Structure 1
């Protein structure tokens, strides 16, 4: 087994190299991860279901090994059915539910040999940007346990930032990969719509605004995982082509000289937290020093219209999961803001729902004209560092619109790129004066995930990132 210092020096790719050279057995790699989860999780509450023995038994029964055989991985407790591994979607009402099949993403992770050690926490149905739930309690940020780990992939991010595992599965419908990555000092990529398969249980989730991938400590792990999971599955409504030779291979060459536009405020011109603005400024300077053409530039679109309509389109999609009669009832067992959201969704007419989709498309077309002149857009990842626990939890009973406004104030940069389907990536480039992570977001044109990953790798090489929370237990 690896001790903690040895463990924290390795990412997934590094662990694979150790296993392939015989420096450590694949079983000892899994046991090392299990030891870290058992040591770190009581204080953080990131992992809410474990299947340690099942993962070890699966490794013992593996006749042939491949690159990632036996390497540890955690699945989010949202949108990732895995046969034999209960999925609650963060809801007390569905604890213990075994969907009885593997999603395409899960089946590809299994085929690659990953040891699936359990599930990480999610808020109920992923409806907020903190990971707190009646089902599983509060997931704490390992950098400061009084703060949120973000959401809805906060469990995944807290597990990685505390050093339990090098990477973990995550999902993103309105920033749920990128926000926790920023709050926990990690790399978080939301790939282009259709790069990763979303079947067989989902077809075109939320008009293509929902995505799956991972939070990682390194860019190369992000790329290597994308090579495992990307590609169409049978019956998919669409897919986006991936680079010949894969994403990881692109890391061997630089992206070339890129045209990069950046802004140090919100899309609507409102000021943001000074540390977030500073992170953008410093990153712009570093990108310029790397030889790119960098200048202040702003996409031309109606920010309020796009975010409002896109968020309400997302929420309206919930109406397909329950009957109007159910929504009109007491809905006992669900959290207060979940109930508010369900009732809101049930009240959306078909006309309004489709009109919102048309409005989103109109604004997305305006926004994406920016990428006719620029290869990359640089923004803050969030409006400041991690917010306090409780501020955005679903156990409060607010009116729907003020709750949404609170979410968008804390995270004004993520939703537009769920709406557009473009690849968007959070990178851990900065910290506040008191040491909390601050991220930036890089966005590229539709289908240009490879360019985005190449630029992220170049920035990573030129930077000194800290991706493990210093407050995590030794």
Structure 2
């Protein structure tokens, strides 16, 4: 296994985003220096990792000369290529149309940019974000810096590969079925999916019947994720939710932790199960109250309902493609996964209202669960990170969807319930690859997740790709 990274003795060093922001504020480095270093690192690893959808180097260098104010002023980043940034196309990882430059920033980037970050490009994703592996039929796969024969995981793969490899310390990611948490697990990062409606989102995600998508970031440290939530909340605050606040250290309250290693009809592999139980034992040693449960608070219909809803989203995109993208729309260039999801939903559309109603009710079931437990500990994914090709979207739909659902067995629940969850790189597999474990909590309880994440990070420091 040959690891790929760009860490070195330049203006970025091995600083996380908070450390880099502090160096910039103190004048130890300049925004121009760190942006130039990020661009050089991106150029060094891009031929192997393939995580860049579009570079904005010229624009970034111009912005670095006079960066916006904010805690992260001058910190280089990436923005996933499924949100609107003024003047840039949004290609959604898809070859079926030619994207036009956005006339204005979307609501998410308006908030994210206000924290002071400087994007050096847009990161690559799977087509429309549907697959848990970004393997573009024409451009090729996004590769994992820990082992380039493996996937970088889920639709935020480009952002995650480049954060893990040291190109930037923080990058945008979003999550409609695990796409913050899954690549965080695959690439050895921290990935927190916030509570539904916690932060600003683009209209395309707000208009979903069940708002399964949440925007966030992937980082290399708990404090970076906590600082991002704090700064984003200073820009955009949902008054219906208790504030996250400034979480900078472990909490003192001992928590009631439920451990689950089987999701409906999919059990974690022995290695992943043992990694999860190892974290459960660590939590017990730290004084938390841990109990193992056989099943998560999920109705038996959840897997089928979520798949049908996923398919409905694909059906909508396919059906509206010509109107949305005018003369450039060519559905023959869609991958097998997108087309297969649309066919799957088209044959079962009569079941969709019931599926949507049950998915919406899942929040009530989960709320009852969290009346008795503070957090739930599960694997992030059910097995080790697969090799490139295992989830190739050009495979027959029936093959790839079965493999996909088996790997991504634990993350979709919080997309339906809208509750927060965080993946932490607390274990390493026999193959040397990171293994993520996931902590979920009730609605609006990001602060609890960050406090326990700090505690676990201190007790078991995260492995790094550079050793």
1-structure distance, mates of 2:320, 2:344: 11
The reply to whether residue 168 of structure 1 matches residue 201 of structure 2 is no
Describe the shift of the 1:8–1:289 C-alpha distance in structure 2 as closer, same or farther (beyond 3 A): farther
CA contact (8 A) 1:121 1:153 kept: yes
The aligned residue for residue 52 of structure 2 is: 47
2-structure distance, mates of 1:96, 1:305: 37
Describe the shift of the 1:428–1:102 C-alpha distance in structure 2 as closer, same or farther (beyond 3 A): same
2-structure distance, mates of 1:90, 1:325: 14
CA contact (8 A) 1:383 1:412 kept: yes
CA contact (8 A) 2:163 2:170 kept: yes
> Counterparts in 2 of 1:258-273, with a 5 A limit?
258-263=255-260, 265-268=261-264, 270-273=266-269
The reply to whether residue 112 of structure 1 matches residue 115 of structure 2 is yes
CA contact (8 A) 1:210 1:418 kept: yes
2-structure distance, mates of 1:215, 1:285: 26
The aligned residue for residue 343 of structure 1 is: 343
The alignment's TM-score, normalised by the length of structure 2, stands at: 0.90
Q: Choose from 422, 425, 433 the match for 2:422.
A: 425
The aligned residue for residue 148 of structure 2 is: 145
Describe the shift of the 1:232–1:314 C-alpha distance in structure 2 as closer, same or farther (beyond 3 A): farther
Q: How many residues align?
A: 456
The aligned residue for residue 294 of structure 1 is: 290
2-structure distance, mates of 1:57, 1:221: 25
The aligned residue for residue 468 of structure 1 is: 465
CA contact (8 A) 2:250 2:451 kept: yes
2-structure distance, mates of 1:308, 1:281: 28
2-structure distance, mates of 1:357, 1:65: 42
> Counterparts in 2 of 1:406-421, with a 5 A limit?
406-421=403-418
Describe the shift of the 1:421–1:9 C-alpha distance in structure 2 as closer, same or farther (beyond 3 A): same
The reply to whether residue 36 of structure 1 matches residue 41 of structure 2 is yes
Shift of 1:26: 1.7
The aligned residue for residue 248 of structure 2 is: 251
> Counterparts in 2 of 1:322-401, with a 5 A limit?
322-323=318-319, 331-349=331-349, 351-399=350-398
Shift of 1:136: 2.8
2-structure distance, mates of 1:306, 1:403: 19
Q: Choose from 266, 275, 279 the match for 2:275.
A: 279
CA contact (8 A) 1:194 1:240 kept: no
2-structure distance, mates of 1:227, 1:205: 26
Residues 118-152 of structure 1: CA deviation (Å, up to 9, x unaligned): 01110111111101113532111111111111111
Instruction: List alignment gaps of at least 5 residues for structure 1.
Output: none
2-structure distance, mates of 1:304, 1:232: 40
2-structure distance, mates of 1:411, 1:202: 21
Shift of 1:310: 1.7
Q: Choose from 68, 72, 82 the match for 1:68.
A: 72
The SS at the match of 1:92 is coil
Shift of 1:358: 1.7
Shift of 1:242: 4.2
Instruction: List alignment gaps of at least 5 residues for structure 2.
Output: 1-5, 324-328
Residues 332-354 of structure 1: CA deviation (Å, up to 9, x unaligned): 121122222233344453x5221
The aligned residue for residue 190 of structure 1 is: 193
Shift of 1:277: 1.1
Shift of 1:212: 0.8
